[in-house]
Amino acid sequence: MPAPLSIIIPALNAAADLPLCLEGLMPGLEAGLIREVIVVDGGSSDATARIAGSAGANLVESPAGRGKQLIAGARAARGEWLMFLHADTGLSRDWPERAASHMGRRPGEAAAFTLKFRSDARAARWLEARANLRARWMGLPYGDQGLLISRALYEDIGGYSDVPLMEDVMIVRALGKKRLVILDAEARTSAAKYERDGWRRRSWKNALLLVRFLMGAKPEDLARSYR
């Protein structure tokens, strides 16, 4: 029987982070959990495609846009389970055990990982705690926390939306809090944008965008405010 899990990684000029992301998947390969790794390239001008090919990943080309790329990856995937992962996120070594347990026990529910920033800044710990609390209490994890979901459930809720922003929020809202579990394994994601813009400034800007979206703003309009 084929391994159950297809990993889908949207990427755009991700050469600096993709090797760490792919390395973090090795425990899943060793455990016999991963059927395929699909890197969906949105037209990179760096070594993203070469890195993906060298690692043995299947390369899918797509127009740029995370929503478009996630949709393209899901269409190309053959696994009974799908795991969507940002290219700048690496998983902790215990993720296969946590994921396999979830897949075996809760096929009707999706899962995300516990957020961890690759930074020693005190503000990183503050934002992690806030984000993980939001994920557990409100069922609204960051896209950086990944998404593990059965193909059947993914198709039942309509999958990702082709929007320029908030595709991660839209899909977890379609799931609902009762069908979303936060796993103890960590999604260790890049802190580059926060270190560039300032931790509090960036986090409050993101929070404002989320509030505007929940109040009815269109993703297309919000995308113009997001950099």
Per-residue pLDDT of 174-211, as tens digits, reads 999 999 999 999 999 999 999 999 999 999 999 999 99
Q: Look at residue 78 and tell me if it is in a domain.
A: yes
The answer as to whether 216 is a domain residue is: no
Residue 207 domain-assigned (yes or no): no
In a domain, 221, yes or no: no
Instruction: Tell whether 18 is covered by a domain.
Output: yes
Per-residue pLDDT, averaged over 164-179, amounts to: 96
Q: What is the CATH number of the domain that holds 165?
A: 3.90.550.10
The number of distinct structural domains making up the chain is: 1
Q: Which domain holds residue 103?
A: 5-195
Mind listing the pLDDT tens digit for each residue in 76-111? 999 999 999 999 999 999 999 999 999 999 999 999
- Residue 64 placed within a domain: yes
pLDDT at 227 over 70: no
What's the rounded Cα separation, in Å, for the pair 158 and 37? 22
Does any domain span residue 114?
Answer: yes
Q: Is the residue at 223 inside a domain? A: no
